[in-house]
């Protein structure tokens, strides 16, 4: 049986998570296709606790590549969705008025 | 003894140099609450219809609210109102900082400026001592120099100064009034009115206290509110970035004003983002008087062509206005643009619109470099952006064409340029594309001061809470920014909620956007502060009355449904494909307008208030006047 190709996902941090974590982006590699939930759980090992706990208050966007516009990820509906190689998840502070 | 209120109105006539103090009417407080509510009442009663905004008979009215000067977080604001010289309708602007509380500490709920001084003057208010002082040595100075010199002359750095810059002196119609250096009451040309009266500044120092009816109850409520703010999910973002968070947030949503709203996504948003600002040039956070959220900041540029620039701010409007809107991808340059506007005393939204407007005309070949004084109006040209701000300030050359706002500029340029002038009722729109924000789009169209996002700020449409949408606004679509149903009711609700914030003179970010204070809480606060026995429903009625009074003012000026519109770009041109989630969106305005007028109890055909509604709000006299003018329907 052929081993699945590794999956590389860019996580882009904007807003509060970026400023608290002091990180702009991570490139994660997984040995096989991975779900959104698994990716988010994986961030626990990367981000400081204070930054990680803010993720649930942020908007998550999924794009097929970094620098392309994304679509909003709806959780928990999409949590088991598998992400394709090269995709980018952006964590951004939601729009809530000026 | 008055509780919450200072209980006094200060009236200064610059023509006669008469200074008088009147008691604050009890009916005013119970019917109009304070701040914006007070101002709207005075405006309607004392400004005749169709008055020119630069007329000597125009009045400039500053109002503060019953919470200002107390420990209520963010109750630091004031409204300043007049007939707008820019739009010809209701003029009103709001700012934070420290001026409002100082005026209250001096013992005044409202300051009314009448007439015109023979030569430049400034007003010095030290509690009961009010003097009209010579300001010829200040005329020609920018806002910062004016404030600095006044502090030196008065030998008191605690004096709060509201000043105009050279833009107002030169008659630029979108000049604002600036306090605490960078706190701007910028919209609708209130600085222009002040300049037309030869009034350069108002310096106020107050040492009186503000009495609260039930300090114990008030203290408990403040603790509850502070806790709610600290624990709010938005607190970290607002404390760390303030409104600058919106650059990336709106960009990712595909509705960041980019190259004059030609698209909703700026490829260089990262370079000019609130995040980049916080990481590279921010020095420390800053808050307004008594506010729990330090949402502003001081910054300093240490290298590059703008090395040495340091200031407070910016807010999102200025940051995006001089970056994405004009195609500039340089953070320091954008900050310089904001700084110039602060010093000259210019409205950043209008200034960024007129510049991006002519850049688009240049792109389309409608205007040439030659007619723009040789300036290269290509997108992203920093030198041109800064040169135009300077020219506008001085009303020099091409800047003179732009100094009356985009509507007049388009009329002067002609050649079909009117189609690209993005304003509503003569007031230019802020940096979020309404095609991606349907409730905001409706709010722009119906706002009482023109194309304005702060009259409503209907942020509920970002919630995506379909259940709440159904329960609160009658349709689940109300909770989604790209959908339409329910938005008329959303805007009605948020207009009145924003009016609450402006009447209390506390910050909309906490009261409305973070939903910290609803009508029930507002009633509790007023009962504790003023010793009233008012209910939440009665508070809502006050706010609905204020909104309706503003509508009556504008109806008297001749506005109807046809004026509640949006520029063609937003109703006919879909956002392009690179706008991500908002791609393909336009605004279908008419059904939302119908729903809004119905929710308001106004006439759906002509968009005017009805006699029934006005009488229900205690506006019988106003209804009678409109009827006599043939403007009112049953």
Q: Is the pLDDT of residue B2 over 90?
A: no
Distance CA B502, CA B345 (A): 22
% of chain B with per-residue pLDDT over 90: 96
3-state secondary structure of B379: coil
Report CB contact under 8 Å: B581, A69.
yes
Instruction: Give the other-Cβ count within 10 Å of B1's Cβ.
Output: 6
Q: Which of B236, B316, B580 sits opposite A98 (nearest CB)?
A: B316
Q: Is the pLDDT of residue B1 over 80?
A: no
Which whole number is the average pLDDT over B241-247? 95
Which whole number is the average pLDDT over B600-614? 96
Question: Cβ of A34 under 8 Å from any chain B Cβ?
Answer: no
Mutate to test the interface with B, among A24, A50, A62, A95 (most CBs of B within 10 A): A95
Mutate to test the interface with A, among B245, B316, B317, B481 (most CBs of A within 10 A): B245
pLDDT value at position A29?
92
Show residues of chain B in contact with A71, CB under 8 Å. Answer: 580-581
Residue with tokens 């947030």: B249
Q: Is the pLDDT of residue A96 over 80?
A: no
Closest residue in A to B280 (Cα–Cα):
A19
Which whole number is the average pLDDT over B89-105? 97
Asked if residues A94 and B246 have their Cβ atoms less than 8 Å apart, the reply is no
Q: Is the pLDDT of residue A12 over 90?
A: yes
Name B270's Cβ contacts closer than 8 Å, sequence gap at least 6. Answer: B248, B276
Give per-residue pLDDT as tens, B253-297.
999 999 999 999 999 999 999 999 999 999 999 998 888 999 999
Q: Pairing between strand B8-13 and B110-114?
A: parallel
Q: Is the pLDDT of residue B565 over 70?
A: yes
Report CB contact under 8 Å: A92, B249.
yes
Report CB contact under 8 Å: B278, A19.
yes
Per-residue pLDDT band at A1 (split at 50, 70, 90): low
Distance CA B539, CA A70 (A): 42
Report CB contact under 8 Å: B252, A16.
no
pLDDT value at position A77?
92
Mean pLDDT of all residues in chain A? 91
Distance CA B498, CA B504 (A): 10
Give the distance from residue A14's alpha carbon to the nearest chain B alpha carbon, in angstroms.
7
What stretches of B516-573 show up as alpha helix (H) in DSSP?
Answer: 519-530, 536-556, 568-572
Q: Is the pLDDT of residue B307 over 70?
A: yes
Report ipTM (2 d.p.).
0.94
Which whole number is the average pLDDT over B210-239? 95
Per-residue pLDDT band at A33 (split at 50, 70, 90): confident
Report CB contact under 8 Å: B275, A15.
yes
pLDDT value at position B63?
98
Report CB contact under 8 Å: A98, B454.
yes
pLDDT value at position B621?
97
Question: Cβ of A78 under 8 Å from any chain B Cβ?
Answer: no
pLDDT value at position A49?
95
Name B89's Cβ contacts closer than 8 Å, sequence gap at least 6. Answer: B83, B425, B426, B448, B449, B450, B553, B554, B557, B559
Instruction: Give the other-Cβ count within 10 Å of B336's Cβ.
Output: 22
What does the H/E/C string look like for A32-94? Answer: CCEEHHHHHHHHHHCCCHHHHCCHHHCEEEEECCCCCCCEECCCCCCCCCEECCCCEEEEECC
Closest residue in A to B577 (Cα–Cα):
A69
pTM: 0.97
Q: Any idea what the Cα angle at residue B395 is, between residues B393 and B401, rounded to 5°? A: 115
pLDDT value at position B633?
66
Structure tokens at B428: 């230019």
Asked if residues B345 and B294 have their Cβ atoms less than 8 Å apart, the reply is no
Asked if residues A89 and A60 have their Cβ atoms less than 8 Å apart, the reply is yes
Give the distance from residue B438's alpha carbon to the nearest chain A alpha carbon, in angstroms.
13
- B79, B123, B84: which is closest to B100 by C-alpha? B79
Which whole number is the average pLDDT over A20-46? 93
Give per-residue pLDDT as tens, B128-169.
999 999 999 999 999 999 999 999 999 999 999 999 999 999
pLDDT value at position B634?
60
Show residues of chain B in contact with A57, CB under 8 Å. Answer: 233-234
Show residues of chain B in contact with A94, CB under 8 Å. Answer: 249, 462
Give per-residue pLDDT as tens, B504-563.
999 998 888 899 999 999 999 999 999 999 999 999 999 999 999 999 999 999 999 999
Q: Radius of gyration (Cα) for chain A, nearest Å?
A: 13
Q: Radius of gyration (Cα) for chain B, nearest Å?
A: 23
Per-residue pLDDT band at A98 (split at 50, 70, 90): low
Give the distance from residue A83's alpha carbon to the nearest chain B alpha carbon, in angstroms.
19
Closest residue in B to A69 (Cα–Cα):
B580
């Amino acid at each position: 049986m052929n081993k699945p190709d590794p999956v590389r996902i860019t996580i882009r941090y904007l807003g509060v998570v970026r400023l608290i974590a002091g990180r702009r982006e991570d490139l994660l590699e997984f040995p096989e296709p991975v779900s959104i939930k698994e990716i988010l759980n994986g961030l626990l090992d990367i981000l400081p606790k204070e930054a990680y706990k803010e993720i649930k208050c942020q908007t998550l966007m999924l794009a097929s590549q970094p620098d392309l516009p994304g679509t909003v990820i709806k959780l928990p509906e999409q949590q088991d969705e598998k992400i394709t190689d090269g995709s980018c998840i952006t964590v951004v502070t939601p729009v809530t008025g000026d | 003894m008055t509780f919450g209120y200072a209980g006094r109105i200060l009236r200064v006539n610059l023509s006669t140099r008469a200074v008088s103090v009147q008691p604050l009417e009890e009916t005013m407080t119970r019917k109009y609450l304070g701040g914006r509510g007070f101002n709207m009442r005075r405006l309607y009663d004392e400004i005749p219809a169709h008055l020119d905004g630069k007329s000597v008979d125009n009045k400039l009215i500053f109002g503060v609210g019953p919470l200002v000067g107390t420990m209520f977080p963010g109750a630091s604001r004031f409204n300043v109102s007049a007939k707008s010289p820019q739009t010809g309708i209701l003029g009103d602007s709001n700012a934070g900082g420290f001026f409002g509380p100082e005026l209250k500490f001096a013992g005044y709920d409202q300051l009314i400026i009448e007439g015109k001084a023979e030569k430049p003057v400034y007003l010095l208010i030290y509690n009961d001592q009010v003097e009209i002082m010579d300001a010829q040595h200040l005329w020609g100075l920018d806002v910062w120099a004016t404030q600095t010199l006044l502090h030196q002359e008065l030998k008191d750095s605690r004096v709060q100064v509201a000043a105009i810059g050279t833009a107002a002196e030169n008659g630029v119609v979108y000049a604002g009034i600036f306090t605490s250096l960078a706190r701007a009451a910028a919209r609708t040309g209130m600085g222009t009115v002040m300049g037309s009266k030869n009034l350069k500044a108002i310096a106020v120092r107050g040492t009186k206290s503000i009495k609260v009816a039930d300090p114990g109850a008030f203290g408990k409520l403040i603790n509850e509110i502070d806790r709610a703010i600290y624990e709010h999910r938005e607190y970290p973002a607002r404390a760390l970035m303030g409104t600058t968070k919106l650059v990336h947030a709106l960009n990712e949503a595909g509705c960041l004003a980019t190259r004059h709203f030609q698209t909703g996504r700026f490829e260089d948003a990262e370079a000019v983002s609130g995040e980049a600002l916080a990481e590279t040039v921010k020095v420390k956070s800053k808050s307004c008087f008594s506010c729990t959220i330090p949402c502003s900041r001081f910054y300093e540029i240490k290298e590059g062509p703008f090395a040495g620039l340091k200031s407070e701010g910016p807010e999102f409007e200025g940051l995006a206005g001089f970056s994405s809107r004009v195609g500039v991808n340089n953070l320091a340059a954008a900050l310089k643009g904001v700084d110039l506007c602060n010093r000259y005393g210019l409205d950043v939204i209008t200034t960024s619109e007129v510049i991006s407007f002519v850049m688009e005309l240049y792109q389309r070949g409608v205007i040439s470099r030659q007619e723009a004084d040789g300036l290269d109006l290509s997108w992203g040209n920093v030198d041109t952006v800064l040169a135009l701000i300077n020219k506008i300030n001085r009303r020099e050359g091409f800047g003179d064409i732009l100094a009356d706002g985009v509507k007049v500029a388009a009329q002067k340029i002609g050649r079909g340029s009117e189609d690209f002038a993005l304003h509503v009722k003569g007031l230019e729109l802020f940096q979020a594309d309404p095609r991606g924000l349907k409730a905001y789009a409706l709010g722009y169209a119906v706002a009482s001061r023109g194309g304005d996002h702060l009259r409503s700020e209907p942020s509920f449409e970002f919630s995506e809470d379909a259940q709440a949408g159904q329960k609160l606004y009658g349709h689940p679509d109300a909770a989604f920014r790209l959908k339409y149903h329910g938005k008329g009711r959303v805007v009605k609700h948020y207009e009145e909620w924003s009016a609450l914030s402006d009447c209390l003179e506390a910050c909309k970010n906490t009261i409305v956007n973070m939903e910290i204070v609803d009508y029930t809480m507002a009633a509790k606060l007023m009962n504790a502060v003023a010793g009233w026995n008012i209910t939440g429903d009665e508070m809502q009625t006050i706010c609905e009355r204020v909104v309706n009074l503003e509508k009556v003012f504008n109806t008297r000026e001749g506005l109807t449904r046809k004026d509640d519109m949006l520029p063609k770009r937003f109703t006919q041109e879909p956002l392009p494909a690179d706008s991500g989630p908002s791609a393909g969106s336009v605004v279908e305005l008419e059904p939302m307008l119908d729903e809004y007028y119905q929710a308001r109890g106004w006439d759906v055909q002509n968009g005017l208030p009805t006699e029934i509604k006005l009488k229900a709000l205690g506006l019988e006299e106003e209804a009678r006047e409109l009827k006599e003018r043939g403007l009112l329907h049953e």
